[in-house]
Amino acid sequence: MQMTSSAIRRDWKTEFEISPGTVFLNHASFGPVTRRGRLAAESLMERWGRLTPGPDVDDETFAMLASSKGRFARLIGASAAQVAFAPNTSYGLNAVLWGLNLRKGERILMPEVEFPALVYAVKNIAQRLDLTIEPLPCPRGYLELDILEKALARRSAVLALSWVQYFNGYRYDLEEIASLCHASSCFVLVDAIQGVGAVPLDVEQARIDALACGAQKWLLGQTGSGFFYIARSPVREVQPLEAGWLGVDWGYRFHDLKDWNKPAFEDGRRWEIGTYPFFSIRFAEAGLAILEECGREAAWEYIQGSLSHLLEDLQGSGYQPALLPDARHRSGILSLKGPRTREMHEHLHLCNVHTSFREGTIRVSPHLYNTEDDIAALVEAMRRFEAGG
């Protein structure tokens, strides 16, 4: 049964290819295959694969890129010019960090609990450029504003953090964070993959300087595509460190390529340095279309409804949220903890209920696809385990 919510107008389950009987509550790990995505990628493959006589496919292909990019940009309230494709989140984070032209001794702030995509990107650049990393204490499992404020009292070049914590679902108020950081001219770089596609975000309002996001989770895409965004007037200039033949303007005509003096694109395309993962982008675009049709607010309301349901159904259970912040700090992730959590997670898998095990908790992450029955199946499987069955 679809969740009782006025938010969404139709049953989205039919859009997904998950086998009947499988309860998939693991969007924070990866997005399941969408029918539309498969068809879109297959039709592109068909078009390219047949190699029959016909018009050059370049026009079509680059039009597809423009339309996909428009969708990525709309999702976060940006313009397409501010967005570049990237194969994953890590690429975008690295591109921005290296594009900042950081100098020896400059400081990067980062919460001490962070997903390794940021940790290793920051560690690497810090070692290579002799920068200082300041890990910010997170005694409650997330960065508190007074700790950030204290850290900002010393000049800091960048704050790098995830919008939503991968293991406890804590969601930062980016507007608050950016306003504190900007008062000290500190650049705000956000790993947004655990938030965008579940929670609506408007980058103009949040005023962060840059974000990166893979399409393989909440955006309902698959691996190999994603994007990053850079604000029109970031607190510090960002320029691509790398260049390549597709970052310059050939007018999408690739017949005469001996020109060494083509101008670089002025918009996000200057970051796109080589041949695109077309199939993956095409697949992701189909997922973005689903999100657009549903509406960002409606999708978020629906996800919250699923998690509220779960919380209600768990009353009296030995498994409770590891963290349950105020509504404005919640996300599509709810992590549960109880006795023998790892064994419970394994039991759920055996019951064909898919969640993930992160930092000692069972991470539940529903999306548009999930129904009341899915939540009921999860709770029932948990109860069986608790009852020793």
167 versus 369: smaller Cβ distance to ligand PLP: 167
- Give the interface size with ligand PLP as a residue count (CB under 6 A): 11
Touching ligand PLP, residues 156-185 (CB under 6 A): 162, 166
Residues 6+ apart with CB under 8 A from 42: none
From the list 85-93, 100-108, 137-145, 363-371, the region that binds ligand PLP by CB under 6 A is 85-93
- Is residue 210 within 8 A of residue 228, CB to CB? The reply is yes
Among 82, 194, 331, 365, binds ligand PLP (CB under 6 A): 194
Q: Which stretch binds ligand PLP (CB under 6 A): 82-90, 144-152, 227-235, 325-333?
A: 82-90
Binding status of residue 191 toward ligand PLP by CB under 6 A? yes
In the complex, minimum distance from the CB of residue 9 to ligand PLP, in angstroms, rounded to a whole number? 30
Nearer to ligand PLP, 214 or 234 (CB): 214
Contact between 94 and ligand PLP (CB under 6 A)? no
Q: What is the DSSP string of 295-307?
A: -HHHHHHHHHHHH
Q: Which ranges of the chain does DSSP label H, i.e. alpha helix?
A: 35-49, 58-75, 89-99, 116-129, 145-152, 174-183, 203-206, 278-294, 296-313, 341-350, 372-386
The answer to whether 176 touches 149, Cβ cutoff 8 Å, is no
CB of 138 to ligand PLP, least distance (A): 14
Beta strand pairing call for 226-230 and 334-337:
unpaired
Nearest to ligand PLP of 163, 385 (CB atom)? 163
The verdict on 89 binding ligand PLP (CB under 6 A) reads yes
State which residue, 2 or 223, has the beta carbon closest to ligand PLP: 223
Handedness of CA 285, 286, 289, 291 (dihedral sign): negative
Q: Which residues, in sequence order, are CB contacts of 385 under 8 Å at separation 6+?
A: 343, 344, 347, 348
Pick the closer one to ligand PLP by CB: 115 or 172.
Answer: 115
198, 354, 362, 377 from 18: Cα distances, Å: 19, 11, 21, 15
Residues 96-115 that bind ligand PLP (CB under 6 A): 115
Q: How many CB atoms lie within 10 A of CB 226?
A: 30
CB distance 376 to 348 below 8 Å: no
Q: Is position 285 an interface residue for ligand PLP (rule: CB under 6 A)?
A: no
Q: Cα 355 to chain center, whole Å? A: 18
Q: Which is nearer to ligand PLP, 197 or 305 (CB)?
A: 197
Of 359 and 372, nearer to ligand PLP (C-beta) is 359
Q: Which is nearer to ligand PLP, 194 or 370 (CB)?
A: 194
Q: How many residues does the chain have?
A: 389
Determine the Cα–Cα distance for residues 120 and 293; give it in Å rounded to an integer: 36
Shortest Å distance, C-beta 191 to ligand PLP: 5
Neighbours of 13 (CB within 10 A): 14
Whether 241 contacts 95, CB under 8 Å: yes
Residue 81 Cβ vs ligand PLP, minimum distance, rounded to whole Å: 23
The residue among 309 and 330 lying less far from ligand PLP, judged by its C-beta, is: 330
Q: Which residues of 243-281 are buried (b: 16+ CB within 10 A; e: fewer)?
A: eeebbbeeeeeeeeeeeeeeeebeebbbbbbeebbbbbb
Closest distance of CB 98 from ligand PLP, Å: 15
Q: Binding of ligand PLP at residue 214 (CB under 6 A)?
A: yes
- Which among 148-156, 187-195, 328-336, 342-350 is the span making contact with ligand PLP, rule CB under 6 A? 187-195
Q: To the nearest whole angstrom, how small is the minimum distance from the Cβ of residue 116 to ligand PLP?
A: 8
> 166 vs 271, which CB is nearer to ligand PLP?
166
CB of 218 to ligand PLP, least distance (A): 10
Asked whether 299 and 167 are in contact (CB, 8 A), the reply is: no
Q: Which of 88, 222, 365, 371 binds ligand PLP (CB under 6 A)?
A: 88
Q: Binding residues for ligand PLP, per CB under 6 A? A: 88-90, 115, 117, 162, 166, 191, 193-194, 214
